[in-house]
């Protein structure tokens, strides 16, 4: 499999180089030259396969021969060594929990897959690599955990000051060793822009930079696993499946749509957003008009200009009419988010997080308009403990802190404040 830049001004490359570069030299996102098609026999036999075997077959065409079979099988097995429970909320709606990994966030899957892939691709460890990543919340902790103590790799995480939760901040600022956190005086889009600028800066050519944001194919594509895992569990229901995805940078939902393009029987996708609603507005008007980031309760989705939307546009060949047949978009306020947290809890005694609550709202609104009998799944992307203040105040209850978090919370935060790109560049060079 080769990957080309969506800016169409760079040479195509193999998986190995796409992962190591993160972003193409022309600043474009890498995209596969073709979308593999899974045979019907794969879906007929899917329940008989282990999750590792199933996921291996899904990701193998994108990796090609860059990793040996036993290496890739081991990477997939280690990536998916925790559960992905499906919790029924109503007869038609269920939550898919993606937060059972080490940092209690859905981004553990992509971060673990990328870290292990990069380690295998950089076998001798002689080539020093700097992973540069921007986070709006959960990416930082997942990447920090995934790459912690990986030989030959240093990780630099940019996060917006005062705009991530205390737990999220602790997860990305307390590991030390090969992990460094830079606290940016700005919003997530500022962090993301600095990362993209660094990749194009010839003054940093002496540093082997790559990104661990979902712009990197090794972070983006493994997110397809969620949808295959859910289908494998729900196939027996014999109902059309709809997925509602809390969407910020749009890597997760884009991976789901890619899975659908490979043949996975998903009937429809819903992009559920907060006030940062560039994509719902695009689906309404056909005009893509990103706006400055607005801070909300669902901070991991506070992205004004989502990077991965260009990949979704490519999947549908920039045809908004075709896109709307497969994708709906809804936006909700913080007040509506709180009401949804209460509603979910009253229905099932289930404690959702603000991002999952948005997914629930989008799913509920979509299903109310549809006449066909469908089964809806919304993604619970983070453990509610990560948004303790919001959940406690809204539901008037205590959320137990998982044991693996208690040690992290007791550690001292260590971060370096920066204001602009020149300060980031100075840090990287020094």
Q: Is residue 386 pLDDT above 80, yes or no?
A: yes
3-class SS of residue 80? coil
Per-residue pLDDT, 126: 64
CA distance 159 to 299: 12
For the record, the structure tokens of 368 come out as: 């109310």
pLDDT in tens, 183-217: 999 998 899 899 989 988 999 988 989 888 889 99
Degrees, nearest 5: CA angle 97-323-233: 30
Q: Average per-residue pLDDT in the chain? A: 94
pLDDT over 90, % of the chain: 81
Domains of the chain are 83-103+220-399 (3.40.50.1100)
CA distance 81 to 72: 14
Sheet with 13-14: list strands edge to edge.
Answer: 13-14, 2-5, 30-32
For the record, the structure tokens of 189 come out as: 């889009």
Q: Is 155:119 a contact under the CB 8 Å cutoff?
A: no
Greatest extent of the chain over all pairs of C-alpha atoms, in Å: 61
Q: Is 272:362 a contact under the CB 8 Å cutoff?
A: yes
Question: Torsions phi, psi of 320, nearest 5?
Answer: -65, -30
Q: Is 244:359 a contact under the CB 8 Å cutoff?
A: yes
pLDDT in tens, 32-88: 999 999 999 999 999 999 999 999 999 999 999 989 999 999 999 999 999 999 999
Place of tokens 């509506």: 336
Q: Is residue 125 pLDDT above 70, yes or no?
A: no
Residue 317: Cβ within 10 Å count: 8
């Amino acid at each position: 499999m080769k990957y080309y830049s969506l800016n169409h001004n760079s040479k195509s490359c193999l998986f190995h180089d796409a992962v190591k570069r993160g972003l193409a030299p022309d600043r474009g996102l890498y995209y596969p030259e073709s979308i593999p098609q899974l045979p019907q026999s794969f879906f007929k036999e899917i329940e008989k396969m282990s999750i590792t075997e199933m996921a291996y077959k899904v990701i193998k065409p994108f990796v090609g021969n860059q990793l040996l079979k036993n290496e890739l099988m081991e990477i997939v097995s280690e990536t998916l060594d925790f559960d992905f429970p499906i919790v029924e909320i109503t007869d038609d709606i269920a939550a898919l929990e993606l937060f059972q990994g080490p940092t209690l966030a859905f981004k553990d899957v992509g971060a673990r897959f990328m870290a292990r892939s990069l380690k295998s691709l950089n076998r001798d460890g002689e080539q020093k690599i700097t992973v540069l990543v921007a986070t709006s919340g959960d990416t930082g902790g997942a990447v920090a955990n995934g790459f912690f103590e990986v030989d030959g790799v240093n990780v630099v995480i940019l996060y917006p000051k005062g705009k991530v939760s205390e737990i999220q901040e602790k997860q990305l600022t307390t590991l030390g060793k090969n992990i460094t956190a830079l606290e940016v005086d700005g919003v997530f889009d500022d962090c993301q822009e600095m990362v993209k600028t660094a990749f194009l800066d010839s003054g940093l050519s002496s540093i082997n930079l790559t990104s661990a944001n979902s712009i990197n194919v090794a972070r983006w594509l493994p997110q397809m696993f969620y949808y295959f895992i859910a289908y494998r569990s729900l196939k027996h229901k014999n109902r059309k499946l709809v997925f509602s995805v809390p969407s910020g940078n749009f890597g997760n939902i884009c991976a789901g749509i890619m899975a659908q393009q490979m043949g996975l029987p998903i009937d429809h996708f819903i992009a559920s957003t907060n006030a940062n609603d560039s994509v719902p507005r695009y689906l309404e008007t056909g005009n893509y008009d990103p706006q400055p980031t607005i801070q909300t309760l669902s901070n991991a989705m506070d992205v004004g200009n989502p990077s991965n939307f260009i990949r979704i546009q490519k999947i549908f060949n920039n045809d908004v009419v075709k896109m709307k047949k497969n994708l709906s978009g809804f936006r909700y306020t913080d007040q509506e988010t709180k009401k949804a947290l209460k509603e979910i809890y009253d229905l099932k005694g289930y404690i959702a997080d603000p991002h999952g609550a948005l997914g629930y709202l989008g799913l509920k609104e979509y299903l109310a308009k549809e006449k066909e009998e469908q089964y809806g799944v919304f993604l619970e992307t983070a453990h509610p403990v990560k948004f303790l203040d919001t959940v406690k105040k809204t539901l008037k209850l205590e959320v137990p802190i998982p044991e693996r978090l208690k040690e992290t919370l007791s550690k001292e935060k260590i971060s370096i404040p920066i204001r602009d790109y020149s300060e980031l560049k100075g840090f990287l060079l020094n």
